[in-house]
A and B are shown apart, each in its own frame.
Chain A
Amino acid sequence: DIQMTQSPSSLSASVGDRLTITCQASQDISHFLNWYQQKPGEAPKLLIDDASNLQTGVPSRFSGSGFGTDFTFTISSLHPEDFATYYCQQYDDLPYTFGQGTKLDVK
C-alpha cells in the first residue's frame, strides 16, 4: 500500500496567516492527489484534485502543488472558517490511502 505522510499533524495559527501543509507519498504517485477539508461534526469536503486543481466554488486562497512524492497545500490568508482538519489522499493505486490529517486550530 502507498503510505501518505502529512506534516505537521497539528498547527496553531491566526486569521490572516499563511499556512502550508506537506504530504509525502511512499512512492511516486504522479499528480494523483486530493486534498479534503473536514470541520468538526461534518463530512469531509473535496477542495483540490489532481494535486492542484481547485474544485468549483472553493476560494482561491486555497492552492495545491507537487508531483511525484512531495506535495504541498497552502492557504494564503487564513479566514475564520478555515480552522478544520485537512487530509491528503492518493488515488494512484488501490487501496486509496489518506494522510493522517493536519488539525488547524486558533492560536
Chain B
Amino acid sequence: EVQLAESGGGLVQPGGSLRLPCAASGFTFSSYAMSWVRQAPGKGLEWVSSISASGGNTYYADSVKGRFTISRDNSKNTLFLQMKSLRVEDTARYYCAKGGFYDSSRLYNWGQGTLVTVSS
C-alpha cells in the first residue's frame, strides 16, 4: 500500500524558512515523479512543484520560484520541500503526491498534508 507522510509544518514568521520532508513507502520511490501541492485554508488546490524520478528535473510555480526548492533522497525514500523567504500567502496545507513514471501530470496518491502557517 502506498503511504506518504508529510511532516515539518508549523508556525513561522514572515521571511522565515521551513523544510518539509515526505516519507514514502509501499512503492519503488526512485521510479516515480513526485510533487507538492498546497491548499490555503478554505481554498482550492495549487500545484507548487514537481521533481522527476531521478531528481534531475525540477519544476516550480511562479509563485514560489526562487524561494522554494524541491529535492529527493532516493536512498531514504524521502521527498523534501525547502521553503525560504516565506510570506503570509504561503500559509496552506502542503501535500506531497506520487506521480507517474515519467511526470507528475497525474497525482495518483497523496499524503494527509502538513500545515504551514506564516504569521507574525
Residues of A bordering B, CB below 8 Å: 1, 32, 34, 36, 38, 42-46, 49, 55, 87, 89, 91, 94-101
The residues of B that contact A87 with a CB separation of less than 8 Å are 44-45
Residue from A43, A99, A100, A101 within 8 A of B112 (CB atoms) = A43
Residue from B45, B47, B107 within 8 A of A95 (CB atoms) = B47
In the bound complex, CA of A44 to CA of B39 (Å): 11
- As a 0/1 sequence over residues 92 to 116 of chain B, the CB contacts with chain A under 8 angstroms (1 = contact) are 0001000000011111101111000
Residue from A34, A98, A99 within 8 A of B106 (CB atoms) = A34
Q: Which residue of A lies closest to B47 (CB)?
A: A96
* Interface size counted on chain B using CB atoms at 8 A: 20
Instruction: Flag if B44 contacts A46 (CB, 8 Å).
Output: no
Residues of B bordering A, CB below 8 Å: 37, 44-47, 50, 59, 61-62, 95, 103-108, 110-113
SS class of chain A's interface: helix, strand, loop or mixed?
loop
In the bound complex, CA of A101 to CA of B72 (Å): 30
Shortest CB-to-CB span from B33 to chain A, Å, is 12
The residues of B that contact A46 with a CB separation of less than 8 Å are 106-108
Q: List 22 A-B contacts (CB under 8 A).
A: A1-B62, A34-B105, A36-B107, A38-B45, A43-B110, A43-B112, A44-B45, A44-B95, A44-B110, A46-B107, A49-B106, A87-B44, A91-B105, A91-B106, A94-B59, A95-B47, A96-B50, A98-B44, A98-B45, A98-B46, A98-B47, A101-B44
